[in-house]
Structure 1
Amino acid sequence: MEHKLKDIIGIFNRTFEQEYNTKLVKGGEEPLYVPANDRVPYHAIYFARGFYSSALHEIAHWLVAGKERRKLEEFGYWYEPDGRSAQRQREFEKVEVKPQAIEWILATAAGFRYFASSDNLDGNPGDTQPFKQAVYEQVKIYAEKGLPKRAEKLRQALADFYGTPNYIDLKQFDVTRI
């Protein structure tokens, strides 16, 4: 299955632009979320380097962010660049569990391969297995209790577009393959 950027951009924008004044935009080297301002009248999710996986990841962060956080650049979160210590890496992973669980669910709905991201290329991420297991456990919670409203809406749109099952099938999630 081919995954074109124009498809994910179109699916996202059709699903959310009208109601949330938010657009998915192909960005440059680094991803960025910028709320509407006096130069750009819409909220923009810029994903990095034209990567489909980056689009899914940045969308997942937007889907986790609440209404007040969506008013802030980068949702008001800190970001510590590559080269994090093991302790800082564990702290980073704690805030990544929900977005990456949603990203994995969206990727699966799109028939796209998901890889857990430690996002610490210049540092030693340490043992990533506990993080991957935590992401999987969160997927199981979402499968049982349901996704947040916006995430579910996008999951359904992706499943419809790509012709994948329109439900979260836990048999499609294997923590040893991420």
Structure 2
Amino acid sequence: MLNHDATRLCRVFEACFFDEFNTVLIGGANEPLYQPLDKAHVHHTVYYRHDYFASALHETAHWCLAGAARRQELDFGYWYSGDDRSAAQQQVFESVEYKPQALEWIFSRACHWRFRVSLDNLTLSRQSLLDSAAFQAAIVKQARFWRDAGLPERANRFYSALCAEFDNCLPLHKLQLNLSDFD
């Protein structure tokens, strides 16, 4: 059985990115957060929730997609609204969140980890959950695009390192990425 201790992800992330980007991945946070280097912080830090493996994968996906300017801003300069999001706010969330979730799914495959789509809003009605089919389809479409066209550079570096760490030698272009994989 594979060891899915999130500290393994921290070691892989640091090996990939610390020297070049002075960035670390740290668990134990009550909420995920990206903290750029400043007078009080000697490293750029990606915090993930508690010791959750999936949270660590998700936050690394956000970091791998964030451009240089976004990596200088607290939480990449994004807004966040919790479980009280309106339907309109949920649509805005989904319009930007499909890319990190597509990348998280690809990272999950490298680790032999089950990916779960997250609407990140516990107050959604049953109908809203059913309406998430478009969001799920956008995740699949983006993941397949990256599978076929290649990942962004940092994401590709991390994916390759995860494959090595978790003894998964399946090349990206051979991944089967189907909606039926989702819970």
Name the TM tier (shorter chain).
Answer: over 0.9
Partner of 2:23: 22
1:54 aligns with 2:55: yes
1:103 aligns with 2:107: no
Q: Equivalents in 1 of 2:26, 2:40: separation in Å?
A: 15
TM-score scaled by length of structure 1: 0.95
Question: CA contact under 8 A between 1:102 and 1:139: conserved in structure 2?
Answer: yes
Question: CA contact under 8 A between 1:160 and 1:166: conserved in structure 2?
Answer: no
What SS is found at the alignment partner of 1:26? Answer: strand
Instruction: Look up the equivalent residue of 1:16 and give its one-letter code.
Output: F
1:161 aligns with 2:165: yes
Partner of 1:45: 46
Partner of 2:143: 139
Q: Equivalents in 2 of 1:115, 1:174: separation in Å?
A: 13
Q: Equivalents in 1 of 2:51, 2:123: separation in Å?
A: 22
Superposed CA offset, 1:120-160 (max 9, x none): 01233441111111100001100111000000000000001
Question: CA contact under 8 A between 1:35 and 1:70: conserved in structure 2?
Answer: yes
Superposed CA offset, 1:22-45 (max 9, x none): 000013210010001112110000
1:150 aligns with 2:163: no
Q: Equivalents in 2 of 1:17, 1:30: separation in Å?
A: 22
What SS is found at the alignment partner of 1:27? Answer: strand
Question: CA contact under 8 A between 1:81 and 1:120: conserved in structure 2?
Answer: yes
Question: CA contact under 8 A between 1:156 and 1:166: conserved in structure 2?
Answer: no
1:32 aligns with 2:33: yes
Q: Equivalents in 1 of 2:145, 2:6: separation in Å?
A: 29
Superposed CA offset, 1:45-90 (max 9, x none): 0000210000000111111100000000000011111121222211
Partner of 1:87: 88
Q: Equivalents in 2 of 1:38, 1:166: separation in Å?
A: 42
Partner of 2:122: 121
Q: Equivalents in 1 of 2:68, 2:167: separation in Å?
A: 31
Give the superposition deviation at 1:166: 4.1
Give the gaps of 5 or more residues in structure 1.
none
Q: Equivalents in 1 of 2:36, 2:90: separation in Å?
A: 27
Partner of 2:7: 6
Give the superposition deviation at 1:91: 1.2
Give the superposition deviation at 1:176: 2.2
TM-score scaled by length of structure 2: 0.93
Percent identity reads 37
RMSD of equivalent CA atoms: 1.2
Instruction: Look up the equivalent residue of 2:24 and give its one-letter code.
Output: K
What SS is found at the alignment partner of 2:29? Answer: coil
Moved more, 112-121 or 161-170: 161-170
Question: CA contact under 8 A between 1:35 and 1:72: conserved in structure 2?
Answer: yes
Instruction: Look up the equivalent residue of 1:135 and give its one-letter code.
Output: I
Q: Equivalents in 2 of 1:81, 1:100: separation in Å?
A: 17
